[in-house]
């Protein structure tokens, strides 16, 4: 799964990297993004790409209780095209979720060791995401989920799942404003190549979502 990530970048870096028009309202670097919190995402409205915040934890438009979002922070890419919660979103509501690293916890004899994982060849990257609008009793909520897949060879010793990270040249293809068959998008995700990853140990302060500072990403000195 993917349960925490970071976005240690300036607004200008993000605007330049994704060819966006600013400003990004209320943006600030984040060092311990957790489920239930706003995440920076990019969609295509049919005319241009737009950046904004979505709540992490998908609440489908048909849901009776928005609390379902806490159970839907991730969607398994292997079966999303078959699930009612995700199938129609794969067809028409795909988004980029911007990050510069994510955390995972590796089991050791001493307990679970948190690691910060980033890409070797670029600073900013995006997770493949799905989003939806929940609207009930005049209350609107925009939420999202991150697609995951089986871990690659690098991630296997750390965790058996990993987020789907889009290659740079596939990001625009993912959010293009065209309705696709969910099966086609399933094949798109399954065909994505592994991205080269790098990891290092960080402090257990990241275990608590209340901790939100640069100390979260500081390499742990043994």
3-state helix, strand, coil in the chain (%, to 5): 25, 40, 40
The torsion defined by the Cα of 145, 151, 155 and 160, in degrees rounded to 10, comes to: 90
What per-residue confidence (pLDDT) applies to 222? 63
**pTM reported for the whole predicted model:** 0.96
In tens digits, what is the pLDDT along the chain, a chain of 222 residues? 789 999 999 999 999 999 998 899 999 999 999 999 999 999 999 999 999 999 999 999 999 888 899 899 999 999 999 998 899 999 999 999 999 999 999 999 999 999 999 999 999 999 999 999 999 877 899 999 999 999 999 999 999 999 999 999 999 999 999 989 999 999 999 999 999 999 999 999 999 999 999 999 999 986
Q: Return the domain boundaries, the chain.
A: 5-217
Q: Please say whether the structural domain 5-217 has been given the CATH code 2.20.28.90.
A: no
**Can you list the positions of beta strands (E) in 34-174?**
38-44, 49-56, 74-76, 94-99, 101-108, 111-119, 125-136, 139-150, 161-163, 165-166
Catalytic residue ranges = 2, 104
Terminal Cα-to-Cα distance of the chain (whole angstroms): 27
What per-residue confidence (pLDDT) applies to 67? 87
How many residues are given for the chain? 222
């Amino acid at each position: 799964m993917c349960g925490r990530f970071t976005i240690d970048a300036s607004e200008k870096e993000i605007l330049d990297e994704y060819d966006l028009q600013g400003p990004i309202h209320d943006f600030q670097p984040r060092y311990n993004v957790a489920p239930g919190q706003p995440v920076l995402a990019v969609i295509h409205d049919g005319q241009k790409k737009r950046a904004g915040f979505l709540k992490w934890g998908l609440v489908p438009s048909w849901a009776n209780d928005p609390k379902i979002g806490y159970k839907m922070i991730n969607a398994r890419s292997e079966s999303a095209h078959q699930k009612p919660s995700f199938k129609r979103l794969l067809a028409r509501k795909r988004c980029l979720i911007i990050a510069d690293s994510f955390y995972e916890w590796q089991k050791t004899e001493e307990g679970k060791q948190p690691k910060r994982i980033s890409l070797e060849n670029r600073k900013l990257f995006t997770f493949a995401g799905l989003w939806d609008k929940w609207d009930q009793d005049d209350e609107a909520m925009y939420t999202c989920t991150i697609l995951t897949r089986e871990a690659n060879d690098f991630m296997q010793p750390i965790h058996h799942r990993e987020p789907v990270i889009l290659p740079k040249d596939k990001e625009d293809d993912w959010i293009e404003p065209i309705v696709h068959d969910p099966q086609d998008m399933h094949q798109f995700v399954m065909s994505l190549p592994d991205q080269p990853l790098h990891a290092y140990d960080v402090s257990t302060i990241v275990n608590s979502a209340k901790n939100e500072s640069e100390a979260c990403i500081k390499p742990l000195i043994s």
